[in-house]
Amino acid sequence: MGKFENKKVLITGGNSGMGFESARHFIREGAKVAITGRNLDGLKRAESELGPNLIAIQADISDLRGHAALANELRERLGQIDVLFLNAGVGTFAPFEQSTTENFDQTFAINVRGPFFLTQSLLPLLKEGSSILFNASIAAHLGMPTASVYSGSKGALKSIARVLAEELAVKKIRVNILSPGPIDTPIFNRAGLDPKETENFKKQMAESTPLKRLGTVQEIAALVAFISSPDAGFITGSEFVIDGGMSKL
């Protein structure tokens, strides 16, 4: 019997990278998993690859008007939720002097405002004993040049998660933070760099970890599953750094 038999999981941004691999992991362990994302092709690919225990829903987390409809659909199709992994996020990088209000607003709308209010909308579906996990980033700790907007958004998410851990404890809901370092996912292809720059950036990132490599999505999925499981039942308000030793936090 799998560790998540009869459990219901929602992963935002589950059609790619860490979210997709986490969905695969939860399904392998017996869960029924709903994923969201904007890209329809990615959602369809996930459905055909992960089978009948995967529900793919097209939803933009930054569109607050869609949150009530998403909550209703989840109530109908999943019932209650045991695990909420707020994973959807974006990161574009620019020197401080070239940072724009458009990029700032879009990044905060997706990385902070969206998960904040989606969690609020989903609260009635979250069971006693459920787990909420926010995907932040090690960038929130490092003073990485060109990452001011991204780092700021992830720092905000972490601060919010800590408060929710305290406030939601009365409902026996655990709230934790995942802080990955460089993980090999398609996010690097979306950072606004050309293919050669992307490869160089990934190499540079791998070199900057003591383990001299990027992390894998399988390593992330295993940690996500642990934090979301009853094995982590006494853990709330904690941050899990998974960065190959990059930050040494």
Ligand X SMILES: NC(=O)c1ccc[n+]([C@@H]2O[C@H](COP(=O)([O-])OP(=O)(O)OC[C@H]3O[C@@H](n4cnc5c(N)ncnc54)[C@H](OP(=O)(O)O)[C@@H]3O)[C@@H](O)[C@H]2O)c1
From 84, 110, 149, 227, residue interacting with ligand X (rule: CB under 6 A): 110
112 binds ligand X (CB under 6 A): no
Q: Which stretch binds ligand X (CB under 6 A): 72-80, 82-90, 97-105, 230-238?
A: 82-90
Single out the residue of 61, 46, 163, 69 nearest to residue 114, CA to CA: 61
183 binds ligand X (CB under 6 A): yes
Long-range CB contact pairs, 229-236, < 8 A, 24+:
229/3, 229/4, 229/131, 230/129, 231/3, 232/131, 232/174, 232/176, 233/129, 233/174, 235/174, 235/176, 236/165, 236/169, 236/174, 236/175, 236/176
From 187, 191, 206, 222, residue interacting with ligand X (rule: CB under 6 A): 187
Residue 19 or 133: the one with the smaller Cβ distance to ligand X is 19
Active site residues: 150
Residue 144 CB, shortest distance to ligand X, in Å, is 11
Report d(CA 205, CA 212) in Å as an integer: 8
Cβ-in-10-Å burial (0-12, 13-18, 19+) of 155 comes to middle
Instruction: Give yes or no for a contact between 19 and 33, defined as CB atoms under 8 angstroms apart.
Output: no
Question: Binding-site residue total for ligand X (CB under 6 A)?
Answer: 30
From 9, 32, 33, 36, residue interacting with ligand X (rule: CB under 6 A): 36
From 32, 84, 87, 223, residue interacting with ligand X (rule: CB under 6 A): 87
244 binds ligand X (CB under 6 A): no
176 binds ligand X (CB under 6 A): no
Note the residues at the interface with ligand X (CB under 6 A).
12-13, 15-19, 36-39, 42, 60-62, 87-91, 110, 135, 137, 180, 182-183, 185-187, 190
